[in-house]
């Protein structure tokens, strides 16, 4: 399996997923800004999904930039990651239409949790294939310990608390998005890159 082809395929899928996210929005039936403003919750949920996708895609890029080799295991681990990524537009749409429905928010959190697990599986697969650069790969995104605990801890606590206080899903996701965008250490660039 050629690493560059796998990266190009993944980039194309990410672009398609982001496009599908925005296609869920329909223009108002008449020219009235109030109709647009009524959709503020959908726009907020879209923004959360968009920012999380691009932040994790950045870390994903870092994994593949550092990894020297990929094989069939990496291909399937990446496919598992793409599977969960591709469901995010559905969860975003469902949550946008029913932002106060506990089931929609729990589905959204569950999909993000599985997407994170799939990223960890992909990362560990690349480490097994590229043992000589294990320390570099472990510095990326969720693999550095602290970031994994923060990300998964927020998702799990959001999931549990949302059973009792549904709005907490969105509070947890806003905090998670802010942390991911501004405080996640991301990947460390190679010298000269």
Chain position carrying tokens 């294939």: 129
Report the alpha-carbon distance of residue 168 to residue 21 in Å, rounded. 23
Which residue segment(s) compose the domain that 140 sits in?
3-24+41-182
Q: Give Rg (Cα) of the chain.
A: 18
Q: What is the pTM of this model?
A: 0.84
Tokens of 119: 């990223």
Number of domains in the chain: 1
pLDDT at position 193 is: 47
More reliable by pLDDT, 186 or 68: 68
pLDDT above 70 (res 144): no
Report yes or no on 187 lying in a domain.
no
Report yes or no on 92 lying in a domain.
yes
Phi, psi of 36 (to 5 degrees): -70, -45
Residue-wise pLDDT for 18-56, tens only, equals 999 988 877 888 888 888 888 888 888 999 999 989 888
Report yes or no on 169 lying in a domain.
yes
Q: At what angle do helices 168-182 and 102-129 cross, to 10 degrees?
A: 30
Report the alpha-carbon distance of residue 184 to residue 120 in Å, rounded. 15
Report yes or no on 104 lying in a domain.
yes
Instruction: Tell me which residue of 77, 191, 186 sits closest to 140, measured CA to CA.
Output: 186
Please give the distance of CA 67 from its chain centroid, rounded to a whole number.
20
Residue-wise pLDDT for 47-86, tens only, equals 999 998 988 898 899 889 888 999 999 999 999 999 999 9
Residue-wise pLDDT for 159-176, tens only, equals 888 888 877 888 888 888
Helix (H) or strand (E) holding 133: none
pLDDT at position 20 is: 94
């Amino acid at each position: 399996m050629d690493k560059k082809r796998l990266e190009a395929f993944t980039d194309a899928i990410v672009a398609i997923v982001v496009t599908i996210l925005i296609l869920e929005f329909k223009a108002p039936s008449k020219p009235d800004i109030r109709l647009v403003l009524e959709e503020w919750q959908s726009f907020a949920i879209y923004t959360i999904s968009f920012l999380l996708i691009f932040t994790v895609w950045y870390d994903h890029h870092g994994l593949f930039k550092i990894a020297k080799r990929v094989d069939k295991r990496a291909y399937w681990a990446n496919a598992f990651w793409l599977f969960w990524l591709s469901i995010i537009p559905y969860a975003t749409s469902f949550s946008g239409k029913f932002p106060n429905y506990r089931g929609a928010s729990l589905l959204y959190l569950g999909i993000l949790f599985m997407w994170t697990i799939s990223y960890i599986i992909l990362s560990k697969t690349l480490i097994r294939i590229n043992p000589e650069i294990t320390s570099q790969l472990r510095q990326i995104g969720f693999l550095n310990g602290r970031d994994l605990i923060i990300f998964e801890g927020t998702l799990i606590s959001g999931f549990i608390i949302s059973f009792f206080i549904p709005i907490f899903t969105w509070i947890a996701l806003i905090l998670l998005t802010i942390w991911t965008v501004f405080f996640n250490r991301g990947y460390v660039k190679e010298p000269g890159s």
